[in-house]
């Protein structure tokens, strides 16, 4: 059993509610088979709740009810599986190119009985046209100037990208601004979420996409 502090437990209860036991089982998967198969570093186990699961799960507040969410480069299901557990109203498509990760993700989905999750083994650029997402998420995939091209096309012209980023978020937006506009991004902002729940809130870059709007530049 992975230790959880009182503060982490309080945050987890607020985010996951009656599905907290599912979240705990997911964390156990991360700590055991996830580390054995190289999806999570062994040194991360003591920080699974704070640095990974809760850090990802709090972005659920940025996603509208009933949305179809595509998680690019899902890896160990961060944030995709966190969102699927916290928000059973969402439909999740986990996009991951590496077979060993896909196998692990499917095993976890099956064990947890997550009927709102589809695992897709492919690269994000090859999933365009196969996935019609309302929201695309990503964490630790690539710099925004590259990530924009991997995420925005999955929205089929309209929707939102919610990417978990670090302290360099504003700098990344500046470098990627022209690419984002060219792909149909009409508004890009940096948001901090989970400030009332986490010791270290999560920073996200939110890109609103609407190709029907003409943007100069």
Does a structural domain hold residue 23? yes
Does a structural domain hold residue 217? no
pLDDT tens per residue across span 48-87: 999 999 999 999 999 999 999 999 999 999 999 999 999 9
Does a structural domain hold residue 206? yes
Does a structural domain hold residue 118? yes
Ramachandran sector of residue 47 (left: φ over 0; alpha: ψ -120 to 50; beta: rest): alpha
Is there a cis peptide before residue 79, judged by omega within 30 degrees of 0?
yes
pLDDT tens per residue across span 126-179: 999 999 899 999 998 889 999 999 999 999 889 999 999 988 999 999 999 999
Query: What's CA 142's distance to the chain center, in Å?
Result: 13
- Pick the closest to residue 37 from 76, 95, 87 (CA basis): 76
* Domain of residue 195, residue span: 6-210
Q: Write the CATH number for 163.
A: 3.40.50.150
Domain count, the chain: 1
Does a structural domain hold residue 130? yes
Does a structural domain hold residue 215? no
Q: What is the pLDDT of residue 216?
A: 45
Helix (H, G, I), strand (E, B) or coil at 76: coil
Does a structural domain hold residue 200? yes
Does a structural domain hold residue 21? yes
């Amino acid at each position: 059993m992975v230790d959880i502090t009182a503060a982490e437990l309080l945050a987890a209860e607020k985010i996951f509610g009656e599905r907290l036991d599912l979240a705990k089982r997911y964390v156990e998967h991360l700590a055991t088979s996830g580390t054995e198969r190289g999806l999570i570093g062994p040194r991360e186990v003591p920080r699974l709740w704070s640095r990974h699961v809760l850090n990802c799960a709090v972005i659920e507040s940025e996603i509208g009810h009933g949305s179809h969410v595509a998680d690019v480069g899902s890896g160990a299901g961060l944030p995709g599986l966190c969102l699927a557990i916290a928000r059973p109203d969402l439909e999740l498509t986990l996009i991951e190119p590496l077979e060993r990760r896909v196998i692990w993700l499917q095993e976890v989905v099956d064990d947890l009985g997550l009927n709102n999750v589809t695992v897709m083994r492919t690269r994000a650029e090859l999933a365009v046209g196969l996935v019609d997402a309302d929201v695309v998420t990503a964490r630790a995939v690539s710099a925004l100037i590259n990530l924009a091209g991997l995420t925005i096309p999955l929205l089929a012209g309209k929707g939102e990208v919610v990417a978990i980023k670090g302290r360099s978020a504003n700098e990344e937006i500046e470098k990627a601004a022209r690419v984002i506009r060219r792909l149909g991004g009409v508004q890009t902002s940096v948001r901090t979420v989970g400030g009332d729940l986490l010791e270290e809130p999560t920073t996200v870059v939110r890109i609103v996409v609407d190709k029907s709007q003409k943007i100069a530049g």
